[in-house]
Amino acid sequence: MMTTGKVMLVGAGPGDPELLTLKAIRAIEAADAVVYDRLVSPEVMALVPPGRRMISVGKEAGFHSVPQDQINRLLVDLAREGLTVVRLKGGDPLIFGRGSEEAEELRAAGIAVEYIPGITAAQGAASSTGVPLTHRGLATGVRYVTGHRARDAALDLDWDSLVSPDTTLVIYMGAANMATIARELIARGLPATTPAMAVASATTPRECRVVARLDRIACEAEGLPAPVLFFVGRTVSLVAAQGLPCGDWPERLGAAAHA
Ligand SMILES: C[S@@+](CC[C@H](N)C(=O)[O-])C[C@H]1O[C@@H](n2cnc3c(N)ncnc32)[C@H](O)[C@@H]1O
């Protein structure tokens, strides 16, 4: 009788493979099949040993090449073949990663599920840019917020609760809506001069950043290559002096491609 396999929902972190947990690396090495998102960096994908069944489900904000119900079914089917499956997700599977939705479906189908956390993009970008998420005298808390709604529905965030000069806001999937987000925050009282930062591909060799006032950030960051994360708050004033601005990103991407 064939035994049922299991699915490990593994956080691949923000991109730098050295930020993977030991547990994640062991899971990747032990996997029979790896089902991965577009957001997982090529540097992390290079760690998957040869011979694994590799399935891309190409998920990214605003672009779902494989619908979620098909991904769920795929995971169930692979586990029912008796395989150990790694479901590899960018950052942490439980932060804007739909990991818990997949786990619910798997458990309902009687499949064993395990979570392995990853470093979320906000933490990776905080370390690589030097912008702390909290800092005495500047921010007493941090909020992770989505800047995108499923199927491009209107953004209906609780704007008033987001306006706090003592909080660092980190906005995921916000590139398309950052102008609206900034406008709503300013309309509710956050100063237009609040420092803001956009970080593209944090922790990878492609990382670059744009720092500007809140009322300018959407315009200054327009066209940055995905994935992009936005920070808003007084902590952005502590951004490290070193680090690459995005002005020359096309040249650097080209140089990296030919290196
Ligand atoms: C669907 S969410 C997934 C978040 C992920 N689960 C996490 O914990 O980081 C995708 C968004 O995460 C952000 N993101 C993920 N990795 C990033 C990186 N290396 N640099 C900048 N933003 C990143 C971007 O805002 C992107 O649109």
Q: Which domains does the chain have, with CATH numbers?
A: 6-116 (3.40.1010.10), 121-247 (3.30.950.10)
In the predicted structure, residue 250 carries a pLDDT above the cut 60: no
What average pLDDT does range 131-145 have in this prediction? Answer: 98
Q: What is the pLDDT of residue 255?
A: 46
Ligand 1 centre to CA of 20 (Å) is 15
Token pair 């957001």: residue: 39
Are 92 and 100 in contact, with CB atoms under 8 Å apart?
Answer: no
What average pLDDT does range 178-196 have in this prediction? Answer: 97
Q: What is the pLDDT of residue 154?
A: 82
Q: What is the pLDDT of residue 256?
A: 45
Angle (CA) 67 39 69, round 5°: 15
DSSP result, 116-146:
E----HHHHHHHHHT--S-BTTTBSEEEEEE
pLDDT digits (tens, 9 = 90+) for 44-103: 999 999 999 999 998 654 555 789 999 999 999 999 999 999 999 999 999 999 999 999
What average pLDDT does range 193-207 have in this prediction? Answer: 96
Residue 105, C-beta contacts closer than 8 angstroms, at least 6 positions apart: 72, 75, 76
Q: Kindly state the DSSP code that residue 62 receives in the 8-state scheme.
A: T
- Reported as half-sphere exposure (CB side, CA atoms, 13 A), residue 186 has a value of 17
Instruction: Please give the Cα distance from 137 to 132 (Å, whole number).
Output: 12
Q: What is the pLDDT of residue 60?
A: 55
User: Would you please indicate which residues are annotated as catalytic (active-site) residues?
Assistant: 37, 59, 173
Among 96, 101, 123, say which to mutate for ligand 1: greatest number of ligand atoms within 8 Å of CB. Answer: 96
In the predicted structure, residue 24 carries a pLDDT above the cut 70: yes
Provide the percentage of residues in the chain whose pLDDT is more than 70.
90
Q: Within 10 Å of residue 195's Cβ, how many Cβ atoms?
A: 20
**Strand arrangement of the beta sheet that strand 6-11 belongs to:** 53-56, 33-36, 84-89, 6-11, 112-116
Mapping DSSP to helix (H, G, I), strand (E, B) and coil, where does residue 253 land? helix
Q: Which tokens hold the place of 256?
A: 């990296």
Are 196 and 171 in contact, with CB atoms under 8 Å apart?
Answer: no
Ligand 1 centre to CA of 103 (Å) is 20
Choice between 172 and 152, residue whose per-residue pLDDT is larger:
172
In the predicted structure, residue 166 carries a pLDDT above the cut 60: yes
**H or E segment and range at residue 250:** helix 249-258
Q: Which residues line ligand 1 (CB under 6 A)?
A: 14-15, 39, 61, 89-92, 95-97, 120-121, 125, 172-173, 199, 201-203, 227-229
Separation of first and last alpha carbons in the chain? 51
DSSP result, 163-204:
--TTEEEEEES-GGGHHHHHHHHHHTT--TT-EEEEEESTTS
